[in-house]
Structures are given as C-alpha cells and as structure tokens.
Chain A
C-alpha cells in the first residue's frame, strides 16, 4: 500500500504537494468507479434482502412444515436452495466483484475505464442470477449442491465474469509502478480462481457429467473452495486494505501477509473431501483434505496475528467508525470460523457434527459473520467515496449493525448447540428418529428468531442505501460516524479524506 514512508519524506512543501497529487488521483479513481462499482453493490443489496426473506420462509418451514406448504415454488427444498444461491451468487459474489474491482483500482491507482463492458457485465450477472433462481423455483434445479442453477443460467454468468476479469487484468497491467500490496494478490487470485472452479465444476457435473460416483468429490471441492478461494480471499483483501486505511497505520508485518497468502493458496485448494468423511470413498482421498484442512491453521494464524497486531492499541476506533466495526467483527469471525473448520475436518469431531445443523451454523459463521460483515464494512467505506456523499443516518447504520450482530450470534450459538445435541442423539442407535427431531425443535425456532433480526438489519441497510442514493443533500458533508472521533491518529472516513 502507498503509505508514505516517513524516513523518505523530503521538505514539508513537496510532501504537501505529493499529498495533493495523490488526493486528486484518488478522486479520479473513485469517480471512475461510481457507476460500475455502484451497480454491482446496489444489486448485491437487492439480492441480500431477497435472499434473507426467502431464508426466513425456509427457516420457519423447518419448525412449522404447514407454513405456505401448498405452493410447489415455496416447498422447503426449493426455498432453501433459492436462499443459498441468492446469497452466494446474488449477494456475496456480486458485492465481491464490486468491492474487489474498487480495491484493485485504488491500489493500482488506475481509474476503471471499461464502463460499458462492466455495465453489461452487471446486467448479465443479475440476469443470470435471476434466471437461475427462477429455474430453481420452477423445479429445474440440477440437483448438484451449490450448483443448482439450471444450465441455461450459466452462459450469462460466464460472459459476465469474462468482462470482470478483463477489467481486473487491465487494471493490473496499467498499474502505476511500485509495490504490489497484498490485497491485490488476494483479489487478483480470487478473480482467477473463482471462474476456474465454477467452470470446472459446472462442466464436469452438469454440462458433460462424469459418472455419478466421481461427482461428489468434485462437487465438494467446488463448494468448499467457493468459500475458500473466492469469498475468503476477497474478504481478506478487503480487510487488509481497509483496516490500515481507517486506523492510519500500515499493516503490522509484510512478510506475515505473504506467508498467509501462499499458505492459503497452497492448502485451501486441497479442501473439500472432508465433506465426504465416512462416505463411499477411498480413505486417502479424504485424508488429503483432512490434512489440508488442518494445515489451514497456518494461514489463519498468520492472518490473525497480523490483523490483531495492526489493530493493537486502536480498538477505540471501533466506537465511532461504522466501517471498522463491521470489518473487525468479520475479521474476528474469520479466525473463529477457520479454527472451527479445521477442527471439524478431524474425523472424530466430524463424526459428531457431520449431517447436522452444526454444519449449517458453521457455514453461516463463514459466509455471514465473516464474509458478509466484511463486505458491509466495505460498502460503508466505498459508497461515500464513489458518490461523494455521506450516509444519511447513523441510526440506520446502528439499526443495521446491532440486529445483524445479535442475530448472527443467536443463530450461530443456538444452531451449533442444537446441532451438537442432534449429533449426539443420532449417534445413539437406540434413539428413535422422531426423538432426534424433537431435540432439535427449540433450536430451529431460535434460528428463525436470529434470522428475523438479521433480515431487519438488512432492510435497514437497504433503506439507508436507497436514501443515500436519492438524497443529494448530504453532499460532501461530515462523515457519518457513530460517535465523535476521539483519537488524533485516525484519518476521517469521509469522502474528501480517504
């Protein structure tokens, strides 16, 4: 990152001139990002709210099976699937593209030029998601977990992502000379990994399906790495960019960040087979993933040390900075979810948690408490800069943060607990199946409560976003913070002072 090196500072004047120049540069970059990045972010929020409402239906159905039961489109097996795809591809992937491109553009110090192709990409991406979801609703699901979009949705996504990659490559190629910051590594890698994963899996599982016994390994390799090599690196790249920006201090250790990147690249890609522990597969195949999964302690610990030491002594900033609060919530969840994931891949623990709601809780800790929270933080940071306008109300931001934070904690704690009880019950052979269902019932209801809170937060977020976009009055005003800034070493989070 381009934090000026104090030792290299020349006389005061030229430093000021330098600052002015980089400010102008950033303004240009942000203005150029307004439309392309803005469209991706705006549509991702639409999918988020849609995905949450659908999730609520699915959650209620699990403790009240008669709830909207007579409509084929709304049967559990479809709404649950629509929810997964809407949030994985509609929300997380869309926002990852938006934020990823913006961070790249900032760090390469090159304004995004391909406005037309990116607008087309955004449209195609949303059409692809819309068509895919419509397909699942009407019963055209492919039956492959995480890849349920029917074949006719894939071409839209393929073409769209091609444009996205072209833009990213363009930014990298035209980048201003200098250091390549770790966020650029993560985001570029993710932009290549994701399509490689998606089209390998889509090709071998759906277009020209391999024989059924070979499908689940590919399926779980894809599903696990959609998290590991797509949301995770974009999320980490975002954290690595935003945290130093907000607290005004460079990342603690450059070398740790490099070790973190390569160990993630090396080990994460081998994950996935642990979803098949105990299944009809040769042990060595599964062991490969178990080992890789446990080795994930390495990148996670390096990232954890690095983030926490960067933050050390600056936790006060959490009091006033909305961005930081979301991002740090996400960063801490990342540590938690990764440790948990490594443990869950160990056979004896997996034996308890596999096939239960514990796994569902775990994936929400990853996709929501980590990835979504980080991306929320990213949106709070980016929007004022590309719109040159502030967030309209700190109350709406609070109404976003607290219900979501409390909601996901309820969701995670209760469902994990219910999942453990479910696992214990399932592993007691004499326990009748109906008893297992009864055991989980209270926790399934708690899930609906947590989910309702999260949905309330998302609606507040959408309201806040729409208000910001249509109301021009907050042009260039003071940043919207939770409280007055207390420390001096923290640059503002408002548009004119990035």
Chain B
C-alpha cells in the first residue's frame, strides 16, 4: 500500500455513497411525498393540518423537550402492548405524520406515548393542571412541573379569571392571587388535544388495524 491514498479515498467515499442512496435518497423519495386523502365518510381531507395555535403548541413541545420522555408512535399489538395500554386504536403509519412539520416520533418512553392523547384525555383542565404540577393529577410521576408556563396575577375586581387553574392545598396561590396559563401553555394543550394519529381513516388504516389483534376482534 504505497502512496495509494487516492484509491482508499474513493473507496471509502463510495461505500458511504451507497448507504447514502439507500438510507437518505430512498426514504426522501418514497416517504417524502404524501398527499392528503378524503375521509371516506365525511369527505374532509385527512390527516388534517395543524392550526396556527396548534403549531405554536408544537413549538412549545419542541422547545421544552417533551420528546425525550414521550414517543409519538403506536406499535402493533404483535410485539408490544401499546394497543392494550390504549395508546391508539391502530399502529401509526408514515402518512399519519405528513403534516407534522418536525417529526416527533421520539426514542424514549419514560412517560406514555402521546400519539393519541387528544382522544385519551382531551380535558383542557386536566392537561393544564398536569402541566402545572404532575403530582396533582399523577402522584409519584417523574414528569417535571412546567410552572414556568403559567403566571401568577392578582385577582381582578370581577372575580377569578375564566382560565385560572383550580389549585388547592399546598399548591394554592397566595391570598388575592390566581394562577393562569400563559399563551404558551394554552397553545401546548391545544396541540396535545390535536394529537389523534390513529383516528384518521387514511388508505393505510385498514391494513394497520389488521396488525392489532384486539382491534381485529372488535371490528368483527
């Protein structure tokens, strides 16, 4: 091997290029051009796009790193318990994410999967309380409190604001004060409410359901 560096260089760039075509070009070509389809019942185009508010919520989700504890991907019942746990009615497929902008599939399940949290728990009151301090709704949780997404303000002359959260006991605000969610907290909850990935009757939905034994029997 005397001085044949050019040879080596071409070699290691070619091996790289091969994988680059296989794992970058192919996915972009095969998975990067989904179009919405009409819902077979309502004719609405699905999966829907996020509203501006929900999109801001997604940005809050990203900025605060929810992805490091929560996934957004439902796996089939064949080898996981996602469906049994009620994390979704069917496994998710690539098209489900087409309008997500920045995919938040995640790789860690310190907390439950959130693909369908908008169906499982759509309550804004619960979500806000949980974000303010998970110990209130889920004692023993290790999810961090997001109190910094709320502000304390004096109660106005016409009584507590409509969006003040209901805190009692040691969490209660000081005398004459109330805790209200910031715009960020509201947007985040709107985003969570919009997460219903397994709900849409996209073309792949039927096949995805077959993967899920439990749902299979329900359908029959």
Contacts and interface: CB of A to CB of B under 8 A. Distances in A.
Interface stretch (A323-331, A430-438, A467-475, A480-488): A430-438
Contacts of B94: 213, 280-281
B142 A63 contact: yes
Q: Among B23, B96, B107, B148, which residue has the most Cβ atoms of chain A within 10 A?
A: B23
A288 B30 CA distance: 15
Nearest to A288: B22
Given A215-B103, A265-B15, A280-B97, A180 B3 contact: yes
Contacts of B110: 62, 437
A110 to B, nearest CB: 13
A69 B105 contact: no
A212 B31 CA distance: 9
B112 interface: yes
Contacts of B92: 280
Interface string B189-216: 0000000000000000000000000000
A188 B69 CA distance: 37
A77 interface: yes
Contact of A180 (B4, B65, B69): B4
Interface stretch (A192-200, A369-377, A390-398): A192-200
Contact of B32 (A213, A229, A444): A213
A463 B9 CA distance: 40
A215 B102 CA distance: 8
B102 A212 contact: yes
A280 B31 CA distance: 11
Interface in A220-262: 221, 229, 262
Interface string A168-188: 000010010111100001001
Contact of B102 (A61, A144, A272): A144
A143 B84 contact: no
Given A279-B75, A355-B107, A429-B85, A218 B64 contact: no
Contact of B9 (A81, A188, A273, A444): A188
A78 B65 contact: yes
B34 A213 contact: yes
Interface string B5-41: 1001101110110111011101110111110000000
Contact of A139 (B30, B63, B84): B63
Interface string B166-200: 00000000000000000000000000000000000
Interface in A256-292: 262, 265-266, 269-270, 272-273, 275-276, 278-282, 285, 288-289
Interface stretch (A114-122, A124-132, A203-211): A203-211
Contact of B23 (A178, A192, A221, A229): A221
B157 interface: no
Report whether over half of chain A's contact residues are helix, strand or loop; otherwise say mixed: helix
Contacts of A162: none
Given A70-B148, A81-B68, A218 B63 contact: no
- Most central of A144, A172, A280, A289 by chain B CB within 10 Å: A280
A78 B17 CA distance: 34
Given A200-B20, A212-B100, A217 B27 contact: yes
Contacts of A142: 62, 102
A141 interface: yes
Interface residues of B, number: 76
A221 B99 CA distance: 22
A211 B32 contact: yes
Interface in B121-145: 134, 138, 140-145
Given A77-B66, A216-B105, A65 B97 contact: no
A229 B16 contact: yes
Contact of B64 (A69, A77, A192, A275): A77
B153 interface: no
A487 B133 CA distance: 63
A333 interface: no
A213 B105 CA distance: 10
Interface string B57-88: 00001111111110101011001110011000
A196 B15 CA distance: 13
B2 A273 contact: no
A413 interface: no
Contact of B79 (A139, A278, A433): A278
A134 to B, nearest CB: 14
Nearest to A66: B145
Given A209-B102, A355-B109, A141 B62 contact: yes
Contacts of A62: 110, 142
A391 to B, nearest CB: 35
Given A65-B143, A178-B2, A269-B16, A217 B93 contact: no
B101 interface: yes
Contacts of B24: 200, 204, 217-218, 221
Interface string A51-94: 00000000001110110011110011110110000000000000
A213 B36 CA distance: 13
22 contacts: A72-B148, A75-B64, A75-B146, A78-B64, A80-B68, A81-B68, A143-B104, A192-B13, A211-B34, A212-B100, A213-B96, A218-B27, A269-B15, A269-B23, A270-B22, A270-B23, A280-B96, A281-B31, A288-B22, A288-B23, A355-B108, A441-B142
Given A141-B65, A218-B23, 4 more contacts: A75-B65, A77-B66, A269-B18, A285-B27
Interface of A: 61-63, 65-66, 69-72, 75-78, 80-81, 139-145, 172, 175, 177-180, 185, 188-189, 192-193, 196, 200, 204, 209-219, 221, 229, 262, 265-266, 269-270, 272-273, 275-276, 278-282, 285, 288-289, 347, 351, 354-356, 359-360, 426-430, 433-434, 437-438, 441, 444
Interface of B: 1-5, 8-9, 11-13, 15-16, 18-20, 22-24, 26-28, 30-34, 61-69, 71, 73, 75-76, 79-81, 84-85, 91-105, 107-112, 134, 138, 140-148
The 8 A-B residue pairs whose C-beta atoms are closest, nearest first, are A77-B65, A429-B84, A269-B19, A143-B62, A139-B63, A214-B32, A429-B81, A213-B94
